Structure 1
Amino acid sequence: MNDTITAKDKFHKSLHKYARLKRFFERFSADPEFMRNLQSDFEDTLKKNHIRIDREEVHYLFEKSSQDIPDSVKKMWEIVQSKQKWVEQFYLKDCLPSNSSMLTWRNRQIKRQKYDLGPFFTKTNIHSSLAVELSQGCSVGCWFCALSPDSLKNTYSHQSHQEEWIRFIQIMKSFLGDAIKSTFLYWATEPFDNPDYEKFCIDLYNETGVFPPTTTAVAHKDIDRIKEFIKISSKHGSWLNRFSLTSLGIMRTVHKNFTEEELAEVECLPLNKNANYTYGNSGNFRERTKADPSLLIEQDEKLRTAPWHNQDIDYSTSEDYANGSICCVSGFLVNMVSRKIQLISPTTATDKWPLGYIIFDEAKFENIKDLKTTLIKWENRFFNNEMTPDDLVQFYPWIKPHFTEEEIILQGRFNQKKQFFVNENPCMISIIKIINSNKCSFKDIQIKALEEFSISLIDSKKIINTLFSNGFIIENQKH
């Protein structure tokens, strides 16, 4: 617990320490014209954009002769590093499911994501266990939205449903244990579409001890409400809020109406088309790129300038677009209005999974008792350490096996590889070849392996489950 407190304190300290510089780089990353305007009139450009820094803090932008890393870049990197330490400590250590079978399932999904979505996505993802929507649909309608919500239809009333809401949190807490702390209360929704959003957050805090992070695209519309929310979330120890700023005008409005200190613990994400930020290629944006492939090419060119991308040969030599999902949940997605629960996990968006996440199953619930029944049912069905005899054994289509005299290599996207040594796994090549050439159940593969290669049932079972546990096998397919 001390490590967690230390990590958050260090992150917040760096945010407040460099709040003015943070605002500068928010604008810098959003607006290609900003640099040119700075060169022609530095002071006036800052004043128009409500930024207060000294030229000396960013002088390196105008003087390219020095090869040293500028101090301002070091300061921004300090924020990035302290944030990542918090994510790793809180989400990847403190917020693990107490249900051991769900933990095994979650770990398997995380392993798969490394080969599916790449190591950068996997490492920086929070891998939350629960996201809850308190509205049905969204009022904002961003053209690039990776989750493609319908227009706003209804909201979940706190006055009418507080007792049910608290009972819901308690049931999920009893099932998830510490993982309940990773909950956030939006998905394909705008949090502040719900007039009671703040009350739901406080209830969650009272039941779990954690005030959830929030991402909103309407920070410019109700300044007083958002300011008050920032105070409430800070008072209750929230680690971060985010503003999605979809235009330069909205960024200017936000920067005009909020001081640097007020936004110190708020990430202002520039989501205008010309910003350095790149869109997730799923949902609405993916549909746009199908009609206009140049959109994805433009985004990919920006993405490849990121240090984690261009300095990693696995990424830089891959033709895949390295932002195929914005999903950050390996667990449950619940809509309290439609009363629907889904079991989901991130994946690269495809025609089968166009929103960038696998839906393992979904169910409706009339009441909390129904919800509990579904959780128990899914625990028995999905949260298994091993495959069952009737499960279909099939690699994900992006897994490519390679063999050498000494190694067995399973390669995913972005050149990610899992290596097994032939001398330690002498039967694995034969099992992989059977999987690739036949659409067979677990038990049928065992029979083929025994009859054709004299591989014992025990050995074939061990090999198949090794491949399964590493996230290479499509889950829950029955033959």
Structure 2
Amino acid sequence: MSGIATDYYRNIFGRRTSGQLRTLSHVKRFMERLVGDKAFLPALLENVDNSRTIAERYGIDLDPVDILPLWHESYAKYREEPERAAWPVAARWLEYHEELIEHRDMLCEESKMAMVVPRFQTWRKRQILRCDSELGMSPKSITHPALAFELSDGCTGKCWFCGVSAGPFNGHYEYSKDHAALWRGVVGVASEMFGPAARTGFCYFATEPMDNPDYDRFLQDYYQITSALPQTTTAAPLKDQPLTRRVLELFKRYRCVPNRFSVLNRDQLDQIHAAFSPEDLMGVELILQGKEAGIPKALAGRAREQKLTGENNNDAVAGSDNNPTTIACVSGFLVNMPRGEIRLVTPVPASERWPLGYRIVAKRLFKTVDEFREGVQRIIDEHMHESPLPNRLIRFRRDLKYEAGKPHFNLRSRNVHYTVGDNVAPISLGDIIASGDHTTAQLVARAVTDGSNALSLASWLDNIFMQGLIEEDLDDHFAYQTSEDPE
């Protein structure tokens, strides 16, 4: 059974004719050229009357005049106050693009799993609320998938801006009989435990999908088990073109989610456009990473390291230590199949403590399907709390500025201002939490001794905890464990 997001995405294509899709594919190529090739727009502006000939040089079969509002500065206001009837082709493109944004937002909702693993859903919701205030504009593009899998160890890409500092390539996870059985078992457990949220999973992270020649076979298994085809993001679509085409064929067959090609420079854009037709790439978003595109890179991982050491201070890197960023998106389990490793992760601003832009909450190892199931369950039991733990220090998130007040206090992040009622106890609970020197149990004992109602106090604490205002990153270390490790 497919999910709501999948059905919506399929309808984006299903309700359009083949002719309409073909036109959209050529508008899409035009827009890719516009962003990724700095010589393209000047050539058009110099000879608007001959713009169709210019477009044809790039395999674009449309008259740019028909989409003038999308590229000519004189029509910039069109995006804000559309008069779409006068520009039907441009209007169809904007409608299509808006539907893709709607689908992206639906993916975030599909990870909800309250009826399957309530503690996981509560933990994930809290991370989303935290990210909304901690990461500024970044949350708009973060869908917080519940699962991600790595089918290789390391990456051959070596992109200078890699936000997760992918390590050197140490081999891929072969689709052998034993590996395939373990893979199907692991995905089956994930589908059983997390229900619809398993459909949001994908099969790369700090890896390059095309480094695994069996990648499409793993995708096929994933679809058969979850009824969802994972998204593919690759910076090497030309490395193994038959493999890339097999992945694109899976997309055409199932149409669950768009794929993405990271394009590192204009030469690679030229090569991709030469190798694949506009129709081939209709379901592929080109992430234009070259300097021509002017898209800033996140100050995380390798880009952060190079900028902070002065090795690379170009304008393509966004952010600073006062405005950190991340490319991480998973709030859930990151599973590396070659290493047999499970990690619970969530996005955070890149920092000295978490330079890759995600926090590692817990790690476990597994060799069998049963160990995988037990490892995931143990992580849930030990790390996904619904209330502040009584014997741990309770303090506000380190990025929040506390401003005392009665009967309210204020908490301010770079992006959000919270006003919190502080009238459930005769003493200021905000002052106590801001001091950071009480455990939850000590805070409760002090407040109850001073006359607070225990139930009201517990509800108040749970509420600010659920909003992501309490610091959860208090541990300085964690250990690998297997299902055989002692408690």
TM-score, normalised to structure 1's length?
0.87
Counterpart AA for 1:445: L
Offset from partner CA, 1:331-350 (integer Å, 9 cap, x none): 00010001111000111111
Q: Which of these residues, 127, 130, 133, is aligned with residue 144 of structure 2?
A: 127
Contact 1:399 1:412 survives alignment (8 Å): yes
Counterpart AA for 2:400: I
CA-CA distance at 1:194 after TM superposition: 0.7
Q: Which of these residues, 456, 461, 464, is aligned with residue 461 of structure 2?
A: 464
Partner of residue 417, structure 2: 417
Contact 1:95 1:182 survives alignment (8 Å): no
Aligned length: 457
Partner of residue 139, structure 1: 156
Q: Which of these residues, 234, 251, 255, is aligned with residue 216 of structure 1?
A: 234
Partner of residue 63, structure 2: 54
Counterpart AA for 2:434: N
The 2-side partners of 1:428 and 1:22 are apart by 62
The 1-side partners of 2:170 and 2:235 are apart by 18
Counterpart AA for 1:475: E
The 1-side partners of 2:3 and 2:188 are apart by 26
CA-CA distance at 1:473 after TM superposition: 1.3
CA-CA distance at 1:15 after TM superposition: 6.2
Unmatched tracts of structure 2, length 5 or more: 477-487
Partner of residue 442, structure 2: 444
Would you say 1:283 and 2:301 are equivalent positions?
Answer: yes
Specify whether residues 428 and 436 from structure 1 end up closer, same or farther in structure 2 by C-alpha distance, changes over 3 A only.
farther
CA-CA distance at 1:272 after TM superposition: 0.9
Partner of residue 313, structure 1: none
Counterpart AA for 1:359: I
CA-CA distance at 1:173 after TM superposition: 1.8
The 2-side partners of 1:400 and 1:75 are apart by 46
The 1-side partners of 2:452 and 2:277 are apart by 69
Contact 1:10 1:82 survives alignment (8 Å): no
Specify whether residues 438 and 77 from structure 1 end up closer, same or farther in structure 2 by C-alpha distance, changes over 3 A only.
same
Would you say 1:103 and 2:121 are equivalent positions?
Answer: yes
The 1-side partners of 2:426 and 2:303 are apart by 40
Name which of structure 1's ranges 156-165 and 104-113 shifts more when overlaid on structure 2.
Answer: 156-165
CA-CA distance at 1:226 after TM superposition: 1.6
Offset from partner CA, 1:210-236 (integer Å, 9 cap, x none): 111101111123333322321122213
The 1-side partners of 2:199 and 2:64 are apart by 42
Specify whether residues 45 and 320 from structure 1 end up closer, same or farther in structure 2 by C-alpha distance, changes over 3 A only.
farther
CA-CA distance at 1:244 after TM superposition: 0.7
Specify whether residues 93 and 367 from structure 1 end up closer, same or farther in structure 2 by C-alpha distance, changes over 3 A only.
closer
The 2-side partners of 1:404 and 1:293 are apart by 46
The 1-side partners of 2:278 and 2:317 are apart by 29
Specify whether residues 260 and 429 from structure 1 end up closer, same or farther in structure 2 by C-alpha distance, changes over 3 A only.
farther
Q: Which of these residues, 34, 42, 63, is aligned with residue 28 of structure 1?
A: 34
Specify whether residues 376 and 93 from structure 1 end up closer, same or farther in structure 2 by C-alpha distance, changes over 3 A only.
closer
Counterpart AA for 1:168: V
Partner of residue 162, structure 1: 180
CA-CA distance at 1:273 after TM superposition: 2.6
Contact 1:248 1:272 survives alignment (8 Å): yes
The 2-side partners of 1:229 and 1:438 are apart by 51
Mapping for residues 254-265 of structure 1, pairs under 5 Å: 254-265=272-283
Counterpart AA for 1:26: E
Would you say 1:242 and 2:240 are equivalent positions?
Answer: no
Contact 2:346 2:359 survives alignment (8 Å): yes
Contact 1:283 1:355 survives alignment (8 Å): yes
Would you say 1:64 and 2:64 are equivalent positions?
Answer: no
CA-CA distance at 1:320 after TM superposition: 5.6
Counterpart AA for 1:30: G
Offset from partner CA, 1:232-281 (integer Å, 9 cap, x none): 22213332111111010111111112111111111011011331322122
Specify whether residues 65 and 336 from structure 1 end up closer, same or farther in structure 2 by C-alpha distance, changes over 3 A only.
closer
Counterpart AA for 1:147: V
Name which of structure 1's ranges 209-218 and 364-373 shifts more when overlaid on structure 2.
Answer: 364-373
Offset from partner CA, 1:139-175 (integer Å, 9 cap, x none): 1111101011112111111124111111111122222
Contact 1:16 1:265 survives alignment (8 Å): no
The 1-side partners of 2:427 and 2:227 are apart by 50
CA-CA distance at 1:92 after TM superposition: 0.6
The 2-side partners of 1:450 and 1:393 are apart by 17
Mapping for residues 380-395 of structure 1, pairs under 5 Å: 380-395=381-396
Specify whether residues 9 and 428 from structure 1 end up closer, same or farther in structure 2 by C-alpha distance, changes over 3 A only.
farther
Would you say 1:196 and 2:193 are equivalent positions?
Answer: no
Q: Which of these residues, 202, 225, 230, is aligned with residue 243 of structure 2?
A: 225
The 2-side partners of 1:75 and 1:417 are apart by 39
The 2-side partners of 1:354 and 1:75 are apart by 41
Specify whether residues 124 and 241 from structure 1 end up closer, same or farther in structure 2 by C-alpha distance, changes over 3 A only.
same
Partner of residue 339, structure 2: 338
Mapping for residues 362-377 of structure 1, pairs under 5 Å: 362-377=363-378
CA-CA distance at 1:28 after TM superposition: 1.3
Contact 2:263 2:269 survives alignment (8 Å): yes
Offset from partner CA, 1:7-55 (integer Å, 9 cap, x none): 2134335865521111111121123332223334545643443333313
CA-CA distance at 1:458 after TM superposition: 3.7
Contact 1:382 1:476 survives alignment (8 Å): no
Counterpart AA for 2:464: L
Counterpart AA for 1:449: A
Unmatched tracts of structure 1, length 5 or more: 304-317
Offset from partner CA, 1:417-450 (integer Å, 9 cap, x none): 233346xx45498111111123221112223434
State, as a whole percentage, how many aligned pairs show the same letter. Answer: 26
CA-CA distance at 1:289 after TM superposition: 1.7
Offset from partner CA, 1:382-420 (integer Å, 9 cap, x none): 222112211221222111233556643322222x12333
Partner of residue 409, structure 2: 408
Counterpart AA for 2:186: F
The 2-side partners of 1:230 and 1:334 are apart by 24
Tell me the secondary structure at the aligned position of residue 32 of structure 1. Answer: coil
Partner of residue 19, structure 1: 25
